[in-house]
Structure 1
Amino acid sequence: MGSFPRPVPTGLLGADDPPPVGLHNDEASSPFLIICDHAGNAVPAVLAGLGLPQSELDRHIGIDIGILGVSMALSDRLQAPLIFQRYSRLVAECNRRLDSPSFMTPISDGTPVPANQDPTADDRQARIREIVEPYHTAISTHIDHKLAAGQPLILVSMHSFTPSLRAAPAPRPWHVGLCYHDNRQFSDLVLTELAHQRDLVIGRNEPYGVNMAEDYSVPVHGEERRLPYVEFEIRQDLIADASGQVTWAERLAPVLKAACAHFGVEAGR
């Protein structure tokens, strides 16, 4: 597993902090590019855990539980590059536009985030420069290289969702949801393939859809570039352990390959 070069330290990321961008199978030649915005819950040491106990960083407000394991196993099965973010969404929400109120959210699912209550302009810019920009630059660079070489590319965005919100308790029945906006041709093919798995409760823009005004990854890298894409949301209790993560990778890999074939692109081995 590789990493993009660490940004030049400017007071946020120190020598012992991990680089923000993680890479897995980054030299693989599959047409799929897997991205994972909320893979980790690291916090720069200088931010002192954002003033939160580790138990809060470990729940869904700090990380998409289980999704990195699914993404890595899926990357291996598809022989597809995976680009993932190591820092918590509470440090900087990489799937939000910079002007979104939840980009550095002061409260998440009922939990106040002390370090986000009144951040300075310098703090905000450091989080953008050292955490957000390297991640999206890695994604854009990969896409640019593939398109410049005339090679097909299908974006696969991986997320997970909590079975119930603490601030608004209610069961969320979907096992997996797909999120999409106007450019839904590939997502529709994936939905058709998933429908063959009759034990699944499938959400269509449930529990979330694509918010073009506030979201970033799919709107910018998928919709605005007119790339085929699919965005998955998997319920976290199904992928909380390694066994569940492998099971879901094994569910999704043939689905993606079949959808790719129907789309007219060779998925590789």
Structure 2
Amino acid sequence: MNASLLLPADPHPVSLIGPPLASGPLVFLGDHAGSLIPSSLGTLGVGEEDRRRHIALDIGVGSLGRLLAQHFGAPFVSQVYSRLVIDCNRDPADPTAMPPVTDGTMVAGNRDLSATDRADRVAGIHEPYHAAIADLLDQRIAAGLPSIVVALHSFTPMLTATGKARPWQAGVLYGGPGDDYGRRVLAQLQRVPDLTAGDNEPYAFGGTDYTVPRHCFARGLEWLELEVRQDLLADDAGVAAVAEWLAPVLQRAITG
């Protein structure tokens, strides 16, 4: 761990559950699954209520990832620290990676960061997470195992800036090399009764996405970036209900 950022009592930034060399192809990721803040940074000047909001983590993704990993006997790699500290689905040089303001909330601990401050967060949190993903995928390639990366995210039921409701229960982001699996998942979701699937909604895959391009493109891997609406993941019962309709979709899409 980076000594200038993470103290001995602070958790390691990466959580890995499930067998890395599982025979099935799915590898689940949770870029924004965690909400911890290193003790050296206090609260970043953010109140407790805001630290439980979507600005701090992808609500429900940690629980969903664990449940899906258990269902498939698959690995789930997730970040334990909050996206307020550093967003692991952004290039560290991107201004939004350590935002001083997010969705109207001031993040005082991110104001006027020095180059050393930023480098400490990259070295202590961002890079260990991506190194763990790279190591897992490379181990699987060396073992001759196929891998399909499933990056799990969640989104707010309403767009704060406009007050516009988001009707999709889940959205599939695609638009790059290896997105065939994501397109198959979208087609499967569109067949699920009483479910509205977002086609590159509520976000479109693009230049700000970091994890999938870094790990999937050069390795020639198929991938899925999946968004699930956060109100569906608000408690254990909701997470279980989502997993019940999502798991069969993910399975069917493996073979087309």
Deviation at 1:16, TM superposition (A): 1.9
Alignment of 1:136 with 2:130, yes or no, is: yes
Q: How big is each residue's C-alpha offset from its partner over 1:63-92, in whole Å with a ceiling of 9 and x where there is no partner?
A: 101111111101111111000000000100
Distance 1:19 1:259 in 2: 34
Distance 2:217 2:245 in 1: 26
Deviation at 1:250, TM superposition (A): 1.7
Which residue number corresponds to residue 80 of structure 2? 86
Q: How many residues align?
A: 254
Which residue number corresponds to residue 219 of structure 1? 213
Which residue number corresponds to residue 75 of structure 1? 69
Shift of the 210–120 alpha-carbon distance from structure 1 to 2, 3 Å rule, reads same
Distance 2:48 2:159 in 1: 19
Which residue number corresponds to residue 33 of structure 2? 39
Deviation at 1:222, TM superposition (A): 2.2
Distance 1:228 1:191 in 2: 14
Distance 1:256 1:245 in 2: 16
**Superposed, which structure 2 residues align to 1:1-269 within 5 Å?**
7=1, 9-27=2-20, 28-183=22-177, 184-211=179-206, 213-262=207-256
Shift of the 105–224 alpha-carbon distance from structure 1 to 2, 3 Å rule, reads farther
Distance 1:97 1:176 in 2: 25
Q: Which segments of 5 or more consecutive residues in structure 2 lack a partner in the other structure?
A: none
* Preserved contact between residue 110 and residue 166 of structure 1 (Cα < 8 Å): no
* Preserved contact between residue 175 and residue 234 of structure 1 (Cα < 8 Å): yes
Distance 1:153 1:120 in 2: 38
Q: Percent of counterpart pairs with the same letter?
A: 43
- TM (norm. structure 2) is 0.95
Q: Secondary structure at the match of 2:158?
A: coil
Deviation at 1:178, TM superposition (A): 0.4
Distance 2:130 2:235 in 1: 28
Shift of the 31–17 alpha-carbon distance from structure 1 to 2, 3 Å rule, reads same
Deviation at 1:169, TM superposition (A): 2.0
Deviation at 1:194, TM superposition (A): 1.3
Shift of the 108–168 alpha-carbon distance from structure 1 to 2, 3 Å rule, reads farther
Q: How big is each residue's C-alpha offset from its partner over 1:94-126, in whole Å with a ceiling of 9 and x where there is no partner?
A: 000122110111111111110111111111111
Q: Which segments of 5 or more consecutive residues in structure 1 lack a partner in the other structure?
A: 1-6, 263-269
Deviation at 1:180, TM superposition (A): 1.0
- TM (norm. structure 1) is 0.91
Distance 1:193 1:207 in 2: 18
